[in-house]
Chain A
Amino acid sequence: MLRRILVLTFFVMVLVSPSVGTYAQEFPTKEVQIIIPYAPGGATDLIFRALAASAEKYLGKPIIIVNRAGGGGTIGYTEGAKAKPDGYTLTAAITPLTILPHQVTTAFTYKDFEPIINVVLDPCMFLVRTDCQWKTLKEFVDYARKHPGMITVGNSGAGGGVHLAALAFEKAIGAKFNHIPFAGGGPSITALLGGHIHAVSVSPPEGIVHVQAGKLKIMALFGERRLEMFPNVPTVKEQGIDFTMSQWRGLAAPKGTPAEIIKKLHDAFKKGMDDPAFRKSAKDMAINIYYMGSADFGKVMAHDHEFYGKLVREIKK
């Protein structure tokens, strides 16, 4: 009898003990996975591989990259949202997370994730050939307004981030472009180089090589600030068009992950972001490091979810 009571007490104690708390304090006890909803070798993959390598030492456990490509990211996000909210399975959250749910039926929205940290913010931009007929943004915009549907603008895929950027921009300036989708940023830039289209909507590092080589130039830069690499190129905002559009890349955990664990992860990745090794690889990749804490990152996601929802509904009309 006594033994039975003892055993029972033991179980009760185990059950009521603040297991989550101690769990969070001990975090991490094993390796942490990051799901990349895109193929290996793409920009997102490369960025988070570099970040994982430099954040490992601050987290104290290995960080493993798992690619779950497909469906424009839906497969990876679905898996990431359904993962156990224990902080061991994270997802690389990039702008399409707030676009996809408006376009196709998905089992997730940004609300199924807890934001951890934003790492990169790359402005969208329009590139044109250096020898094109428009010398300035004003000439380009005026021409677009006067000749609706005549300027062909390539994008990296229907409904993708840069396509929506081009749609939003034409709305902002009151013009109409002829949008041509390509299978990725590379082919759209090739078509521009060959003179088959007038402009492309891209996001760095796409097309940067050709801008450096002088074959293409940045006609419209939609960032909040100028690019470090091309300090002479003004943003459209500086030129009097109130329009900005950027694509973020950050990390998120499944909804319900304890706040303490989120904080631990945030701190480790923040240190990883500031690590010189990561800074250097970011520079090599021509990506724009942009830190946002968990709360700010969450606000951006919520804002963009509304924004893209409106935009996608307008296209579908």
Chain B
Amino acid sequence: MIESLNQLLQGFGTALTPNNVFYCLMGAIVGTLIGVLPGLGPIAGIALLIPATYGLNPTSAIIMLAGIYYGAMYGGSTTSVLLNVPGETASVITCIDGYKMAQKGRAGPALAICAIGSFIAGTIAIFGLVFFAPLLAEAALSFGPPEFFSLMVFGFIALSNVTGGSLTKSLVMAILGMIIGTIGLDPVTGDARFTFGSAYLLSGIEFVAVAIGLFGIGEVLANVEQRPEVFEQKIVVPRLRELYPSLSDLKRSIGAILRAAVLGFGVGLIPGPAPVIATYASYMVERKISKHPEEFGQGAIEGVAGPESANNSACQAAFIPLFALGIPFAPPTAILLGALLIHGIVPGPTMIKEHPTFFWGVIASMYIGNFVLLLLNLPFVPFFANILRIPKKILLPLVMLFCITGMFTVNNSIYDIWIMLLFGVLGYVLRKLDYEGAPLLLGLVLGPKLEVAFRQSLMLSHGNFTIFISRPISLSFTVAALIFLFVPLFFRMVRRNRAIKKLGKEG
């Protein structure tokens, strides 16, 4: 504990160098912008900026990219409140009460409480990160191939259960991602698979190309067909002095913020699009325990404070499995994993010890980043909201340009651009058919890891499958996966039986 604090202080030494403060600021600003712009989410944002970090040292690079991730959580609320258009998926819930507040002329307090809540919850979650990540990293050494396999199976099942959409559709996407992930060199025998003699395909399908394609190009294409008035309508931007929430607002919100911080942190540790789930969970909890639940949906400030705090807390917590286990459970952390590898840092149990300057520098920068974002979001909300006034005919081609040039700089490969455009079209089609891109992306990242862990386990056990259930950690994940798989099915069956009985009685 004391050691952690000491190292955190040294981390501040790293994070407070003028260079790193600058990159932290850049990340926070870009993140906010991306959060504000509907469509462009943190995934595309981070992927697009990876090439810009090539010249930087790893610490500065990840400070900036992490800043984009949590910065987007701040920015996402702005358009939810002002326009009823969520800037990214984790701010969907904020629309409900946030927009209602804005209609009642209380946009200022709604935005302010978003920023304050995000700051408090974010800061609490970083504290959790400081103490939990090293602990988990110690424990993570006991994770061998069978444990990783069971954990990832659990992750996939938990993920497809909680995304909210169709279970079948998200499983289809995850499996498609895994299939795409098999292209390239076989990780165990070194043979080429599905490469059709192409040297380019030997290294597999570039993950960043898929991410930018699905989430950047796909979004641009989907936007082209929308009618422009959505963004060009008149936006009522609150003035600075209207921003301050009243004392009673603060009083009503503080409980929600603190609960959301803890809740979000817990959710962040579980596989899945943590920030999104955390917002739903927090909203549900707040409505349930509120003394005036009837206000929810009519502009209850708790309904804004809770979810917005929860998504920030969850987003910080999601760094724990990434750093300590090296396994990303959400697309933005998957992209960050790619960025870490590009910079020669392999996250995992030994990372914190091997790269202490990096790890503690990045953590310390998160404190600074959250503080910067608080300052940035309170007075500059009007400015950020103005970004929505940029006509789409200028904005969309610009995004397209960034996607293409950004993609080229990742590997200096023209093939990658073709792959990206291909997945851009695929992303557009999938959107039309109501399939989500996120499970595909996770399947692509986790699939090869899952395969390797599975085959390694069986090599270790000389082909004996009991290795997955004879080791305690692996067994508990297997059991958890089974519970997640069958409990919803069971409830569905119970519900159906009841419905049938009810029908029988009525009939």
Q: Which residues of A contact B (CB under 8 A)?
A: 39-42, 45-46, 66-72, 74-75, 78, 103-107, 149, 152, 157-160, 178-184, 186-187, 189-191, 193-197, 209-210
Contact = CB atoms under 8 A, between A and B. Distances in A.
Interface in B332-375: 341-346, 348-350, 354
A191 B189 CA distance: 19
Most buried by A among B144, B190, B344: B190
Contacts of A105: 192, 197
B185 A72 contact: yes
Contacts of B200: 70-71, 75
A107 B184 CA distance: 17
B145 interface: yes
Nearest to A42: B344
18 contacts: A41-B343, A45-B344, A70-B203, A74-B199, A75-B199, A104-B192, A106-B199, A158-B190, A181-B188, A182-B452, A183-B448, A183-B452, A184-B346, A186-B346, A187-B348, A191-B144, A195-B141, A196-B144
A41 B344 contact: yes
B485 interface: no
A198 B236 CA distance: 66
B: contact size bracket: 35 or more
B143 interface: yes
B199 A40 contact: no
A92 to B, nearest CB: 15
Contacts of A190: 141, 348-350
B54 interface: yes
Contact of B187 (A69, A158, A210): A158
Contact of B199 (A69, A71, A157, A181): A71
Contacts of B223: none
Contacts of B448: 183
A91 to B, nearest CB: 15
Contacts of A45: 344
Contacts of B344: 39-42, 45-46
A109 to B, nearest CB: 14
B240 interface: no
B489 interface: no
B502 interface: no
A103 B142 CA distance: 34
A317 to B, nearest CB: 13
A103 B346 contact: no
A197 B462 CA distance: 13
B58 interface: yes
Contacts of B184: 71
Contact of B460 (A66, A69, A158, A178): A178
B456 interface: yes
B374 to A, nearest CB: 33
B398 interface: no
B145 A191 contact: yes
Most buried by A among B140, B144, B186, B202: B202
B444 to A, nearest CB: 15
B459 interface: yes
Contacts of A210: 350
B429 to A, nearest CB: 27
A71 B452 contact: no
A74 B199 CA distance: 7
A193 B189 contact: no
B497 interface: no
A41 B341 CA distance: 8
The list of the 10 closest CB pairs from A to B, nearest first, reads A41-B344, A71-B202, A196-B144, A159-B190, A70-B203, A158-B190, A186-B346, A194-B141, A71-B203, A41-B343
B405 interface: no
B199 A68 contact: no
Nearest to A105: B197
A264 B345 CA distance: 36
Contacts of B462: 149, 178
B58 A41 contact: yes
B17 to A, nearest CB: 20
A184 to B, nearest CB: 6
Contacts of B346: 184, 186-187
Contacts of B145: 180, 191, 196
Nearest to A45: B344
A182 B203 contact: no
Contacts of B349: 190, 193-194
Contacts of A194: 140-144, 349
A158 B186 CA distance: 8
A9 B231 CA distance: 71
Contacts of B412: 66-68
A70 B411 contact: yes
Nearest to A149: B462
Nearest to B344: A41
Contact of A75 (B140, B203, B345): B203
B352 to A, nearest CB: 12
Contact of B342 (A39, A46, A78): A39
A158 B448 CA distance: 14
Contacts of A66: 412
Nearest to A197: B460
Contacts of B456: 180-182
B460 A152 contact: yes
A209 B462 CA distance: 31
Given A41-B344, A71-B185, A181-B188, 17 more contacts: A39-B342, A66-B412, A68-B411, A70-B199, A70-B411, A71-B199, A71-B202, A103-B191, A105-B192, A152-B460, A180-B460, A181-B187, A182-B456, A187-B346, A194-B143, A195-B142, A210-B350
